[in-house]
Amino acid sequence: MSSMEGSAASKTQARAHEIAARLDRLIATENARREARGEDPITHREIAKLTGDRVSPTTVRGLHKAENGRGAPANPQVSTLDAIGEVFGIRNGAEYFTSDAAAKAVDKQLRALQALAEIRGPQGAPGDAGLSLAFRAAQLSPDGYRLVNDLAERLLAHELAARQEPDNSAERDG
């Protein structure tokens, strides 16, 4: 094998591992959302089904493991990456899987959505409470938003201070 062939093979392998890592992040994000709702984790078979069977479970598994069925680095078609991206709500999945800039932007959005999903609702469980607040805030005027934001800052400061106060209830009871 010439040095050029070796270099091309190592680039293909590096790309396959990057695609696998990005797919792993998407799966982990989806599974965190599902766990919060008491649902089963997503499977390679389910991902394939959600592509409308444009991608096989074996292909999804291979991309997740960074290799094809013959042990060589995975080298998927653009249509395959687009189909898998769509499953996770990403338009132009090929760009997400192959462009560092696109992946960085999408991952930032996913972290923001995860933070919203972790906001506790009235019963103390994560769910749609954060999204509900965000949708309401988006409908406020700039003055209304500032008012709600100021109130949230004051409430947070009050709760943080209350958490830091020592519990003197035993001294009062005694």
The candidate with the shortest Cα–Cα distance to 98, out of 10, 23, 174, 41, is 23
In tens, the pLDDT along 118-148 reads: 776 666 655 667 777 777 888 889 999 899 9
Task: Report yes or no: 36 and 43 within 8 Å, Cβ to Cβ.
Answer: no
Task: Report yes or no: 110 and 118 within 8 Å, Cβ to Cβ.
Answer: no
Given a cut of 70, whether residue 2 has pLDDT beyond it is no
Average pLDDT of span 7-12: 75
Pick the CATH number of 3-119 from 1.10.3470, 3.30.70, 1.10.260, 1.20.1300: 1.10.260
Max intra-chain CA distance, the chain: 84
Domain ranges of the chain: 3-119
In tens, the pLDDT along 23-75 reads: 999 999 888 888 877 899 999 999 999 999 999 999 999 899 887 767 777 78
Number of neighbours of residue 100 by Cβ within 10 angstroms = 9
pTM above 0.85, yes or no: no
DSSP string over 40-65: PPP-HHHHHHHTTSSS-HHHHHHHHH
